[in-house]
C-alpha cells in the first residue's frame, strides 16, 4: 500500500511503472484536492487496482475508488483497458455521487 499525504492510499500499484505512477499520483492528488474543496468533512481517499486480465498485448484493470466523507463511504468501480482512463472515470463517478 502506498500512502500519499496521510489521507490518500493506493493499493495494488506495486507492478505499475514509475513513469505511470507519476501520472496516477497527479490524477489522484488533483482529484482529492477538488473533492476536499466541496466536501467539508473529507476524511479518506482510497484507490484499489486489480489486474483482472493480462495477456501479451492486452490488459484489463479493475479500479475501485472510495471516499470517506463525514463518516459516509462513497464508492465506484470501473473496468477498463487503459489505466488512466479507468482511474479518471472511477473518480468522476465519485465526484458525481458527492455533488448530489
pLDDT at 43: 93
Helix (H) or strand (E) holding 4: strand 2-4
pLDDT at 32: 92
pLDDT at 6: 85
Q: How far apart are the first and last CA of the chain?
A: 30
pLDDT at 77: 97
Q: What is the mean pLDDT of each run of 10 residues along the chain (100 residues)?
A: 90 93 95 89 95 81 95 95 96 90
pLDDT at 92: 96
Q: What angle do CA 92, 69, 40 make, to 5 degrees?
A: 95
* CA pair distance 35, 48, nearest whole angstrom: 18
Amino acid at each position: 500500500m502506498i500512502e500519499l499525504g496521510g489521507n490518500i492510499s493506493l493499493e495494488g500499484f506495486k507492478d505499475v511503472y514509475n513513469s505511470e505512477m507519476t501520472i496516477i499520483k497527479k490524477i489522484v492528488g488533483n482529484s482529492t484536492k477538488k473533492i476536499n474543496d466541496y466536501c467539508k468533512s473529507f476524511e479518506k481517499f482510497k484507490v484499489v487496482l486489480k489486474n483482472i486480465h493480462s495477456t501479451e498485448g492486452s490488459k484489463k484493470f479493475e479500479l475501485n475508488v472510495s471516499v470517506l466523507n463525514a463518516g459516509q463511504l462513497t464508492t465506484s468501480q470501473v473496468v477498463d483497458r487503459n489505466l488512466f482512463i479507468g482511474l479518471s472515470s472511477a473518480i468522476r463517478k465519485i465526484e458525481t455521487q458527492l455533488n448530489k
